Amino acid sequence: MAEDADVISEGGQGPDGAKLGPDELKVRLLEAQSLAEERLDLLKRCRADLDNVIKRSAREKEENVKYASEKLIGKLLPALDSLEQAAKHDEGAKVLYMQLLDILKTEGLVPMDEVGKKFDPYRHEALFQVKSKELDEDTVAEVIQKGYLLNSHVIRFCKVAVAKR
């Protein structure tokens, strides 16, 4: 305790450092060195963090540009579903549906045609199973809601019924 008090008061006087004995100077040097190391370590961590954030944000920016239209097109899909249903009843709606689909196709939207394909959890979401004699087990028997790809990346999984023998 007494030593601590001494060090503090001498430190406060500044140039009095000369009065310190070699042992105390050694202690101080070690303290300063460990503090310097600790700070260097923190600095390195900060630099590494910054470096990684820069790299990551560049990557994210690239992805954002690539899928910029994804959010909007995703929101339009329910309207596309409605038009697809309407097309079954009405010739005008059918033309409208085709027109909208064609426009979205130019943005990279591709409807998935999956009936008869093997069930794949990276493309399909199984809603229920149906008994079938013609179809192989675990193939798509019926599409309940059409799935879509945007620039070969699934933006809506195809909701399907899966065949069961």
Partner 1 sequence: MSKIIGIDLGTSNSAAAVLVGGRPTIIPSAEGTSIGGKAFPSYVAYTKEGQVLVGEPAKRQSVTNPEGTITGIKRKMGTDYKVRVHGKEYTPEEVSAQILRKIKTDAETYLADTVDKAVITVPAYFNDNQRQATKDAGTIAGLEVVRIINEPTAAALAFGLDKVGEHKIMVFDLGGGTLDVTIMEIGEGVFEVQSTSGDTQLGGRDMDERLMEFVLEKFKQESGIDLRRDSMAMQRLREAVEVAKIELSSVLQTNLNLPYITADASGPKHLSMTLTRAKLEELIHDVLQRCHGPMIQALKDSKLEKAEVGKIILVGGPTRMPVVQEFVKSFMGKEIERGVDPMECVAMGAAIQAGVLGGEVKDLLLLDVTPLSLGIETLGGVTTRLIERNTTIPTRKSQVFTTAADNQTSVEVNVLQGERPMSKDNVTLGRFTLVGIPPAPRGIPQVEVTFDIDANGIIHVSAKDLATKKEQRITITAPHKLSQDEINSKVKDAERFAADDLKRKEEIEVRNAADSLLYASEKMLKEAGDVATKEQKEKIEKAIADLKNAQTGGEISEIKAKTEALQNSIYELSSAMYQKAAQEQQAQQQSSQQSSGPQQDQSAGQSGPTVDADYEVVNDKK
Q: 165: which 2 tokens?
A: 């023998």
Q: Does residue 26 touch partner 1 according to CB under 8 A?
A: no
Q: Does residue 129 touch partner 1 according to CB under 8 A?
A: yes
The closest of 153, 135, 109, 150 to 161, measured between CA atoms, is 135
Q: Does residue 49 touch partner 1 according to CB under 8 A?
A: yes
Among 31, 36, 39, 105, binds partner 1 (CB under 8 A): 39
Count Cβ atoms below 10 Å from residue 66 Cβ, excluding itself.
13
Residue with tokens 């199984």: 126
Q: Does residue 52 touch partner 1 according to CB under 8 A?
A: yes
Q: What stretches of 19-156 adopt beta strand conformation (E)? A: 109-111, 124-131, 140-145, 148-150, 153-156
CB of 105 to partner 1, least distance (A): 22
Among 10, 20, 27, 81, binds partner 1 (CB under 8 A): 81
* Residue 96 burial (C-beta neighbours within 10 Å; 0-12, 13-18, 19+): middle
Q: Does residue 124 touch partner 1 according to CB under 8 A?
A: yes
Q: Which stretches of the chain bind partner 1, using CB under 8 A?
A: 39, 42, 44-46, 48-50, 52-53, 55-56, 78, 81-82, 85-86, 88-89, 119, 121-122, 124-129, 138, 144-145, 157, 159, 161-162
